[in-house]
Amino acid sequence: MSAVQLPFSDRTEAGRLLASALHEYRGRDDVLVLALPRGGVPVAAEVAAELDAPLDLMLVRKLGVPGQPELAMGAIATGGVQVLNPDIVSALGISEHTIDRVADVEGRELARRTRAYRGERPPPRIQGSCVILIDDGLATGATMRAAVSAARTQRPGLLVVAVPVASADALDLIEPTVDDLVCLAAPEPFWGVGRWYAAFPQTSDAEVRALLADAAERAGAE
């Protein structure tokens, strides 16, 4: 794990530092960088530019605990993938009905984002690719677990997860499920992803579209 000074100034700086840690993947013609929107997109955009790789999205939605939306009881991803955090579900006595209700709401938002970000563009070709999944950080790891599960169904040649910061518990959860795991810092106590950024504004839909357009323009100019 790389030694970095926390907090990161913002997601862009975190992305540049993460790109340096992923230098071994530069020059490969099979690399595909997939960001978890929305916060993962500014980070992934820096990585994709540095690795000279295409940028696309892995659409995932956290299933927040009712009344505690930042606490993930699970997550869903494109393709009908759903993963749950059994410890949180059990500890809080969350019913199947509650999970289904939250999943229905988040499923509609997942569909909206798919239309908003992708439009008529086809999904990225994951099969056989060296896929690097990127988010701005991992707290429980639930959303990244869903992203990994969704990617695995499409048989990537290599599956990598890369994040600037994560809790030790999340890393322990993710590491056995991927071929490579890159994380710059795992501070304890963790306190949440936003704690480790000096500036941590919400990334807008417009920013996501703009970053994707910039990446597509760069790819088209090569």
pLDDT in tens, 82-114: 989 899 999 999 999 999 999 999 999 999 988
Mean pLDDT, to the nearest integer, of 36-44?
Answer: 96
Sheet with 55-57, side-by-side order of all strands: 55-57, 31-35, 130-134, 158-165, 180-185
pTM value is 0.90
The helix (run of H) or strand (run of E) holding residue 134 is: strand 130-134
Mean pLDDT, to the nearest integer, of 122-139?
Answer: 95
* Paired residues of 56 in beta bridges: 34
Site of tokens 């798919």: 114
| Whether 133 contacts 159, CB under 8 Å | yes
- The proportion of the chain whose per-residue pLDDT surpasses 70, expressed as a percent, equals 98
Closest of 102, 106, 161 to residue 136, by C-alpha: 161
Is the pLDDT confidence value at 221 over 70?
no
The helix (run of H) or strand (run of E) holding residue 100 is: helix 96-118
Closest of 19, 87, 96 to residue 51, by C-alpha: 19
Domains and CATH numbers, the chain: 11-221 (3.40.50.2020)
Q: How many CB atoms lie within 10 A of CB 182?
A: 20
pLDDT grade, residue 72 (50/70/90)? confident
